Each structure stands twice: as C-alpha cells, then as structure tokens.
Amino acid sequence: MSRRIPKSREPDTDTPSVEKTVVIGDVSLDQALRPSKWADYIGQEHIKNNLHVLLTAAKERGHLPEHILFYGPPGLGKTTLSYLIAKETGAQIKVTSGPAIEKVGDLASVLTNLSPGDILFIDEIHRLNKTVEEVLYPAMEAGSIDIIIGKGPSARTVQLELPPFTLIAATTRIALLSAPLRSRFSGGVYRLEFYTNEEISRIIKRSAKILGIDIDTEASGEIARRSRFTPRTANYLLKRCRDYAQINKKEISLAMVLEALKLLNIDSMGLTITDRQILETIIHKFSGGPVGLSTIAAATSEEEATLEEVNEPYLMQMGLLERTARGRAVTRLAYEHLSLQVPEGLQEKLL
C-alpha cells in the first residue's frame, strides 16, 4: 500500500481541502476546555517530543504518519493528543471505539468509508473482539482487508483495497492487547504519565480563564492536590467549585474550595468514597491483604475493570496500595491516612 500523503491533502491542489476535524454533537464545555494547540497541551513532554519527530519526518517524506497507540489511565489526554495530531497533519479524524465495532462488517464499513489520508481514532481498543482484531491486522499492515462473501460452498473471499489511513488507538488496559496487535503500531506505543501538581495547577489556571473564573494560587493549588494528577478530574473539580461558589454567592477562595470538596467527599489526598472503601475493605475484611482484585470487586460491589483502570493506579501512585504476586495489599500509609491503628501482627510486615 502506498502510504504517501494523498493528493487531496497537499496544498495548492484543485480539490477542496479536507475538513479539519469532525465535530460530534454540540460544542460543550468539555470541548471548550480541550486544548486545540500544542502550546496549550501541558506536560507529557516525552510524548510530545517523540510525536514531533514522527510527524515532521513523515511530513518531510510526504508520507502519512505510521499507526500510533496511546495508553494510560482515563482522563490523561489520549483523545486530546489524537485530535492535536489530526490538526497538525491537516487530516480529518473519524472517531469510534472498540465496543462500537462488534462485527467484522462494522469494521469493514468504518474502514471503507475513510477518505485517503484520514486518521481513524479507536478508543478503548482493548474491547475489540478477536475476530475483528484479526481483520484489523492486514488493514494496518497492507492496507487491505479480506471479506468472506456468501456462505457454504459458494462462499468466496474478496480482498478490498483501503484508502491510506493512520490508525490512532487508545487504551486504559494495555495488558489486554495481544502482542500481534501491539506490534503493528509502528509509529510507537506511548504511555501517558500522571501529571505533576505544578502541571495540573497550570491546567486549572488555563481552564479557569476559559470559564471566566477568578481563582487565586492557593485555591487552584488545593484543587490540583486533590485532582488525582489527572487533567479531567482537575477540570471536573474546578467546575464543581464554580457551581458551589455561584449558588453560595461567594468568591472562589481556599476556604470555599475546601467546603466544596468536602461536600463532594474528596479527601485531602484526593481519594473518593470508593477509594477509601477499597482500602477499608482490604484492611477490615482481609487483614490488610494480599487479596485478589475480583474479591475486592465483589466485596465493594464495584466493577473489576473500574478498580483496575481508575482506582488502583492512583492508590498505587499515592503509595497507599501495592500489587504483589498474591494480590493487592495496603501499605502503612493507608492505615495512617485512614487514622487506623496498624495491628500488632502487621507492624513488621507492612511496607
């Protein structure tokens, strides 16, 4: 397959230039907060530097960028990066997700409806089923797919040539991706890291400006410290503090932020009720662990996937939970944070 940039994407051609991005639904508040320029995309310097090299080199050679995979916990900016890449390359982005592509026919229809040079963004790619995944391999590698038409003895395989495209995929659970799929992301597999408090503070300041909120450094710093090192959470907490300030007819100050966060049950370490419930369950029901994830899920009535994607990475990052070969165990800090006494027998063993 030629992966050269299609004529329609080159400037000064007669054909009209391809739309920049597909806007789905109304331009909501969240979309207004999503950075639309690299300069506004704070942090993840390592990824931005690598993407700069990848995109510039591809552009200079007149080729499309190779397929890219982003992974990491939700809300860290995977989708935003994909939109920025589309903008940078002047490509149209088509957005879908693993669970939306149920059958091979769904994938065939998505792929054959691409225009040359498009970016296809597949969110939650770990939720693609195996049969669909296997059809994606030749699409990524050779730019074609094999479709079986008909049934029984009259069935025949037809090879469909696809327009050249770049696949950008995102996942919160890289471990669920098969090795053959992972290896086909020849443009790179990038892990998004949690943000620093300083980076989150900058994101909050930028969002506050867009939302027209006057917020001082103390108040934004407090929101940042409780944002789970995650931009989406930071924006969410900022919006809730704004609501609280509005209905109480107050200015956004540190005192007001503390009140609003208390009402939301977000504690001083940024833990939610569910995070605390997980720690308390391990401590009270399983003597501090180790205990398997499925057992914790059953005991807390939470989805195993949510625990693994959302709660566990943050609790581990904060040093409250550790993952051992035999399951999950709380640390000494977890007892301290919950103001619980470490039992005698555990004094020596705890990290």
Residues with a catalytic annotation lie at 78-79, 123, 172, 232
Burial of 2 (0-12, 13-18, 19+ CB in 10 A): exposed
Is residue 45 involved in binding ligand ADP (CB under 6 A)? no
Closest approach of Cβ 165 to ligand ADP, in Å?
Answer: 20
Give yes or no for residue 121 binding ligand ADP (CB under 6 A): no
Cβ distance to ligand ADP smaller for residue 231 or 288? 231
| Spatial separation of the C-alpha atoms in residues 116 and 82, rounded to whole Å | 17
Determine, following the binding rule CB under 6 A, whether residue 86 of this chain makes contact with ligand ADP. Answer: no
232 binds ligand ADP (CB under 6 A): yes
Q: State yes or no: residue 30 binds ligand ADP (CB under 6 A).
A: yes
Nearer to ligand ADP, 34 or 184 (CB): 34
> Which amino acid appears at position 341 of this protein?
Q
Shortest spacing between CB 156 and ligand ADP, in angstroms:
40
Specify the residue, 193 or 322, whose C-beta has the smaller distance to ligand ADP.
Answer: 193
Per CB under 6 A, the segment of 33-41, 53-61, 132-140, 308-316 that binds ligand ADP is 33-41
Q: How far is the CB of 159 from ligand ADP (least distance, A)?
A: 34
> Residue 93: phi, psi to the nearest 5?
-110, 130
Q: Give least dist CB 107 to ligand ADP, A.
A: 21
Q: Does 171 bind ligand ADP (CB under 6 A)?
A: no
Contact 279, 338 (CB under 8 A): yes
Helical spans, DSSP H, in the chain: 29-33, 45-61, 78-89, 104-112, 130-141, 179-183, 197-211, 217-225, 231-247, 254-263, 273-286, 293-300, 304-306, 312-317, 332-337
Q: In angstroms, what is the minimal distance from the CB of 41 to ligand ADP?
A: 4
DSSP helix/strand/coil, 258: helix
* Binding status of residue 98 toward ligand ADP by CB under 6 A: no
According to the binding rule CB under 6 A, does residue 311 interact with ligand ADP? Answer: no
Neighbours of 151 (CB within 10 A): 7
Q: Where does this chain touch ligand ADP (CB under 6 A) — which range of 88-96, 124-132, 183-191, 227-235?
A: 227-235
Distance in angstroms (rounded) separating the CA atoms of residues 297 and 49 = 39
Pick from 6, 35, 164, 288: which binds ligand ADP (CB under 6 A)?
A: 35
* Residue number with CB closer to ligand ADP (35 or 117): 35
Nearer to ligand ADP, 6 or 35 (CB): 35
Sequence-separated (6 or more) residues with CB below 8 Å from residue 36: 83, 84, 87
Per-residue DSSP letter, 309: I
In 3D space, the residue among 33, 27, 37 whose CA is nearest the CA of residue 88 turns out to be 37
Among 5, 9, 41, 128, binds ligand ADP (CB under 6 A): 41
d(CA 103, CA 134): 11
Q: Considering only CA atoms, which of 77, 115, 84, 109 is closest in space to residue 96?
A: 109
Q: Which residue is nearest to ligand ADP (CB)?
A: 77
Look at strands 68-71 and 188-191 and give their pairing.
parallel
Mapped onto helix, strand or coil, the DSSP state of residue 174 is helix
Q: Confirm or reject binding of residue 93 to ligand ADP (CB under 6 A).
A: no
Instruction: For the chain, report the end-to-end CA distance as a whole number of angstroms.
Output: 54
User: Residues 53 to 82: which contact ligand ADP by CB under 6 A?
Assistant: 74-80
The distance of closest approach from Cβ of residue 323 to ligand ADP in the complex, given in angstroms and rounded to an integer, is: 22
Q: Is 170 one of the binding residues for ligand ADP (CB under 6 A)?
A: yes
166 lies in the binding site for ligand ADP (CB under 6 A): no
CA-CA distance, 52 to 54, in Å (whole number)? 6
> For binding to ligand ADP (CB under 6 A), which residues are involved?
30, 33-35, 41-44, 74-80, 170, 203, 231-232, 235
